[in-house]
Amino acid sequence: MGVKRNIALFLGLIILLLSLPIVGAGCGLVVEESPSDVSPQMETDLPAEPSAGPPPQVDTDLPAEFDIIAETWRMLSEEYVDKDKLDAEKLSQGAVRGMIEALDDPYSAYVDPEGYQLELTSLTGKYQGIGAYIGVTDDQLIIIAPIAGSPAEKAGIKPGDKIMEINGEPSSEMSASEAALKIRGPAGTSVVLLVLHEGESDAVEVVIMRSEIELESVVAEMRGDIAYIRITQFLGSTGSDLRAALKDVIDEGATGIVLDLRDNPGGVLAAAVDVASQFLASGIVVDVVYGEDRRSSLSVKPGGIAIDLPLIVLVNNYSASASEIVAGALQDYGRAKLAGSGTFGKGSVQLIRNLRDGSALHLTAARWYTPSGRPIEGVGLTPDFLLELEDEELVDWAIDYLKSQVTAHCLLLGA
């Protein structure tokens, strides 16, 4: 199927769902007001909760090419030897799954009823599993990032690790959602992963005890007079959590901010707009293009409390979707420099449609672009400072950079 760059980033090894009245756009979710002819159930990384009410009416006026589906069912029901294996529901789900797979789109997917119900259980911000973000890149199931303090992190799981097997079952044919369902499980039970650590040649078995995972999206602390703020994912509460954190560090006398978006797979678009709005005075945060003649621009919300503080943003190969929206907007306006490595490149919008049997479709419906019109899908963002530094070394570099900028600014004012 060629190179498949799928960042269907399923939070904590299961898609995190957020109940939102408007649309999302990216693998963690981007949400925006939809045009009148577009369904308000959209996401980019994470699916939105289906709207209430009856399932949509079925259009039976199908192209003639679909006649072979009915023909196949008729032949099976008349001639197949094991009639007891003819489960109409299972076969119909298989047909839908096959149609979606035939699109060869890494972001479009079919989720069966059981899987969709598991997605819906993550609405509370808690779930039981190992605590890691997973995705698929180059047809390989990988770890996007373990959640800090999670069983996955404690077991030595790192970003970029390849998951070769799950409980002895090869992962080569699994989607991220299928893998998530197999890895997730009750707290106190274990899962065995065959993992190929990045840079290693031999895979190792890792036994991980599942536990309850609580999701925290904003972590802030003072490093001297510089505020270090890490956003791990974009949840519905991230905007308000960030504003509260900014108020605290400003009260403590912060002279600059390091915003760390590394290993952040994305999330709710509304949260991405809220985050960017804390650092921008005005302008467009992101453009969502549904087709040649349909476009929706999401603007900065007024009232940001950190629009003047010196800022630098840290990114890496696993910064995706909503992370790229925030970083791209800040870079486009010259509000902040980006430092680290190139970002993932997730710039598409998925439509979430629930089907009448309780299953769901994730369908790519649009692409999004930075304020200056830069495409992100398959390209990503290039940092202003391409650095090979990792972990705390990059944070230390960013702090030193901000201090130099603050000093230069003070000298300029003194002149």
DSSP assignments along 307-347, one per residue: SSS-EEEEE-TT--THHHHHHHHHHHTTS-EEEES------
**What is the CA 276 to chain-centroid distance, rounded?**
17
Selection from 106-110, 205-209, 212-216, 360-364 with the highest mean pLDDT: 205-209
User: The domain 126-214 is classified under which CATH number: 1.10.10.10, 2.30.42.10, 3.40.1440.60, 3.30.300.30?
Assistant: 2.30.42.10
Catalytic residue among 34, 274, 319, 346: 346
**pLDDT, tens digit, 9 for 90 and up, residues 217-257:** 899 999 999 999 999 888 888 999 999 999 999 999 999 99
Q: What is the pLDDT of residue 265?
A: 84
Which residue in the list 332, 337, 341, 348 is annotated as catalytic?
332
Task: Judge if 126-214 and 218-346+366-414 fold alike in CATH terms.
Answer: no
Q: Looking at 171, 177, 321, 359, which residue is catalytic?
A: 321
Report yes or no: 179 and 185 within 8 Å, Cβ to Cβ: no
- Mean pLDDT of all residues belonging to the chain: 82
Closest CA to 340 of 379, 296, 286, 383: 383
As a whole number of angstroms, the distance between CA 350 and CA 343 comes to 20
CA 227 – CA 108 distance, rounded (Å): 39
Please tell me the distance from the alpha carbon of residue 299 to that of residue 147, in angstroms, as a whole number.
31
Give the C-alpha separation, 262 to 315, whole Å: 5
Active site annotation includes 321: yes
Any idea where the domains of the chain sit in the sequence?
Answer: 126-214, 218-346+366-414
Plot region of 243 (φ>0 → left; ψ -120 to 50 → alpha; else → beta): alpha
- The per-residue pLDDT for range 10-50, each reduced to its tens digit, is 322 222 222 222 222 223 333 322 222 222 223 344 333 33
Say whether 158 is catalytic.
no
Tell me, which fold does domain 218-346+366-414 have in CATH? Answer: 2-enoyl-CoA Hydratase; Chain A, domain 1 (3.90.226)
